[in-house]
Amino acid sequence: MKFGTRWPPVPAGILIGISMLLAWLVAGRGIGASGGMTRFVAWVQHSLFPAATEQSAYFGRYFADGAHPLYDYVVFLLVGLLIGAFIAAWRAGELRLEVLRGPRASVVYRLSLALAGGILAGFAARLARGCTSGHALVGGAELSIGAWVFMMCIFVGGWMAAWFVRKQWI
């Protein structure tokens, strides 16, 4: 496969499956990005409020026994994901800074929606004890009924939400 083109979905899916298998073999856990973000937030909060963070029931466990929250495979996974996406976009000739939006949406409106959606998704990921990729890819690969129901709910919810924002993209 030459650089400068997008990957076909089947080989890309096979590589994702191999990555999931390697994560289980090497780290004993599946893949997912929300854990890396939580560890990053814990690290930032600890740099601002160390005593409060270490006493926190939620963030304190990341610092137990002198541990560093960024020294975990999900953080390296997240960093590798960002670096890999950058390199892939650059090699494909699609690296640019832009805000994708419909003709009726301003840049500020689109970024505001993205921020609100990101906050909501991040909160939901922590509440659900995992992000969409963790639930869908890992849970789906394990044939977990809950993961499959979750993904069907994601698709139905996205379809229903699309009605509210459709005029921004048409």
Shared domain check, 114 and 93: no
Q: Which residue has the tokens 């129901």?
A: 149
Mark whether 67 and 111 lie in a shared domain: no
Structure tokens at 155: 């698709």
Considering the domain architecture, whether residues 120 and 89 belong to the same structural domain is answered as no
Last residue of a domain, one of 82, 97, 112: 97
Q: 167 and 90, same structural domain?
A: no
Q: Which residues of the chain are under the pLDDT cut of 70?
A: 1-5, 170
| C-alpha span between 49 and 165 (Å, rounded) | 39
pTM metric for this prediction: 0.70
Which one of 97, 121, 151 terminates a domain? 97
Burial class, 38, CB count within 10 angstroms (exposed 0-12 / middle 13-18 / buried 19+): buried
Last residue of one domain, picked from the residues 38, 62, 97: 97
The domain total for the chain is 2
Answer yes or no: do 24 and 1 share one domain: yes
pLDDT at 2: 55
| 18 and 86 together in one domain | yes
Give the HSE-up count for residue 95: Cα atoms under 13 Å, Cβ half-sphere: 13
Same domain, 60 and 119: no
The boundaries of the domain holding residue 80 are 1-97
| 106 and 149 belong to one structural domain | yes
The rounded Cα 154 to chain-centroid distance in angstroms is 15
